[in-house]
């Protein structure tokens, strides 16, 4: 007899009869087990759902991250293209502009400044491998662009300054003729037509009628004006940016307003030719000197304003009427042996 069995008393039979359990009662013990199984199953499914089932917010964030990575990769590619173009500009800077302006090239050490050393992008390692790599490449490209733009900007500022100085220097280069007239005496040692001795002729003489306009051969500032027994009325212009001084002598008149400190432009009339000072005929004596006072051959400065053919003609004429030509008896002042000038006048030039 099982203690869990149930009995009832049958009076007719005067005995206890065992009560047989119903099918519900038979399944009742299994129900508890089944409940435990169901609870465990629900817990397992919940855990799996947490890992595999994504909420709408999470899905939106995941999509946004994918788009951001794609956009970052695109920006990275565009920055690489920009960096390549900056490299082209740097090459042009080195091979063209700095060569043109005779400037020292930028060394490779300077161009690679800031490259090397410890990893400056280690902070990105906390992200996934793909994301960290993309972030590092982007940051590196940005740093490279910053270096290139900064260096190239500084280089162009320097080039602009040099170009401006070069432009100013060219404007102050005495590159045109001071008057329209024939060159009748060149630069160098010659037999002086008045003093009758060999003497250095420190300039070039232009045969001109009295009162012919005389112009500044370059931009500059009036250094001085005056009158001496040798030069007569004269004007000196300083062309500081180019490093020269020009002198215009034997003038009949000094232009109005032409006085010390006044700026003048190339081609501006500054006076009129004449025959003052040590001179026996109307002409212009023109000199070019450096800032230390050393005389230079003006013929060497006429080239930028003339064709090669014109320059060679002037050079030959200067050589013909220069100092060395006196050895064969030709006059230094451009006159023929009968004392007449080549245009028929009787100019006996000195200066």
- Predicted local confidence at residue 228, as pLDDT: 95
DSSP codes of every residue in 163-225:
HHHHHHHHHTS--S-SSSSEEEE-SEEEE-TTT-SEEEE-SEEEE--TT-EEE-SSSEEEEEE
From the list 111, 118, 121, 116, the residue with the least C-alpha distance to 142 is 121
Strands (E), 3-101: 6-10, 15-19
- Predicted local confidence at residue 160, as pLDDT: 74
Q: How many C-beta atoms lie closer than 10 Å to residue 301's C-beta? A: 20
Give the pLDDT mean for 344-350. Answer: 40
**Which of 6-20, 155-169, 236-250, 308-322: highest mean pLDDT?**
236-250
Q: Is the pLDDT of residue 263 over 90?
A: yes
* 296 phi and psi angles, rounded to 5 deg: -130, 155
Strands (E), 37-81: none
From the list 117, 111, 108, 317, the residue with the least C-alpha distance to 207 is 317
For the stretch 174-197, pLDDT in tens is 988 999 888 888 887 766 666 566
What separation in angstroms does the CA of 230 have from each of 203, 268, 279, 321, 347?
13, 25, 8, 21, 17
Give the pLDDT mean for 128-137. Answer: 78
Give the pLDDT mean for 80-99. Answer: 71
* 314 phi and psi angles, rounded to 5 deg: -65, -40
**Which of 13-17, 142-146, 210-214, 343-347: highest mean pLDDT?**
210-214
* Count helices and strands in the chain by DSSP H and E runs: 6, 14
Q: Please say whether the beta carbons of 144 and 83 come within 8 A.
A: yes
d(CA 185, CA 287): 12
Q: Is the pLDDT of residue 344 over 70?
A: no
Q: Which residues pair with 190 in a beta bridge?
A: 199
Q: Is the pLDDT of residue 346 over 50?
A: no
Q: How many C-beta atoms lie closer than 10 Å to residue 69's C-beta? A: 14
Cα-based torsion angle of the residue sequence 286, 289, 291, 293 in order, rounded to the nearest 10 degrees: -110
For the stretch 292-339, pLDDT in tens is 999 999 988 885 545 556 656 666 766 665 544 333 333 333 333 333
- Those residues with Cβ within 8 angstroms of residue 304's Cβ, 6 or more apart along the chain or in another chain: 170, 173, 175
Q: Please say whether the beta carbons of 202 and 287 come within 8 A.
A: yes
- Predicted local confidence at residue 94, as pLDDT: 67
What separation in angstroms does the CA of 213 have from each of 17, 31, 106, 259, 273?
157, 129, 49, 17, 6
Token pair, residue 116, equals: 């090397």
DSSP codes of every residue in 83-126:
HHHHHHHHHHIIIIIHHHTT-PPPPHHHHTTT--SS-TTGGGGG
**What distance, in Å, lies between the first and last C-alpha atoms of the chain?**
159
């Amino acid at each position: 007899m099982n203690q869990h069995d149930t009995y009832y008393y049958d009076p007719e039979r005067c005995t206890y009869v065992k009560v047989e359990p119903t099918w519900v009662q038979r399944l009742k013990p299994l129900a508890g087990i089944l409940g435990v199984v169901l609870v465990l199953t629900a817990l397992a499914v919940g855990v799996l759902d947490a890992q595999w089932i994504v909420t709408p917010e999470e899905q939106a964030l995941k999509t946004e991250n994918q788009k951001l990575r794609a956009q970052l990769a695109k920006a990275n590619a565009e920055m690489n293209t920009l960096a390549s173009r900056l490299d082209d500009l740097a090459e042009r800077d080195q091979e063209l502009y700095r060569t043109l302006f005779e400037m020292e090239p930028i060394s490779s050490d300077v161009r690679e400044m800031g490259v090397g050393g410890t990893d400056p992008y280690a902070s990105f390692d906390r992200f996934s491998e793909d994301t960290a790599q993309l972030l590092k490449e982007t940051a590196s490209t940005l740093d490279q662009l910053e270096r290139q733009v900064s260096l190239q900007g500084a280089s162009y500022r320097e080039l602009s300054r040099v170009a401006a100085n070069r432009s100013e220097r060219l404007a102050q280069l005495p590159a045109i003729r001071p008057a329209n007239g024939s060159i009748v005496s060149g630069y160098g040692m010659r037999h002086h037509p008045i003093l009758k001795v060999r003497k250095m002729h420190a300039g070039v003489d232009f045969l001109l009628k009295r009162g012919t306009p005389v112009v500044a051969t370059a931009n500059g500032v009036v250094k001085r004006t005056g009158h001496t027994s040798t030069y007569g009325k004269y004007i000196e212009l300083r062309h500081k940016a180019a490093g020269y001084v020009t002198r215009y002598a034997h003038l009949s008149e000094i232009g109005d307003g032409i006085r010390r400190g006044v700026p003048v432009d190339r081609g501006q009339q500054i006076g009129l030719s004449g025959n003052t000072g040590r001179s026996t005929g109307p002409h212009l004596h023109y000199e070019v000197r450096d800032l230390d006072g050393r005389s230079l051959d003006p013929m060497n400065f006429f080239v930028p304003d003339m064709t090669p053919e014109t320059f060679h003609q002037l050079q030959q004429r200067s050589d013909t009427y220069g100092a060395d030509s006196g050895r064969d008896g030709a006059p230094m002042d451009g006159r023929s042996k009968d004392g007449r000038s080549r245009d028929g006048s009787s100019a006996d030039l000195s200066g």
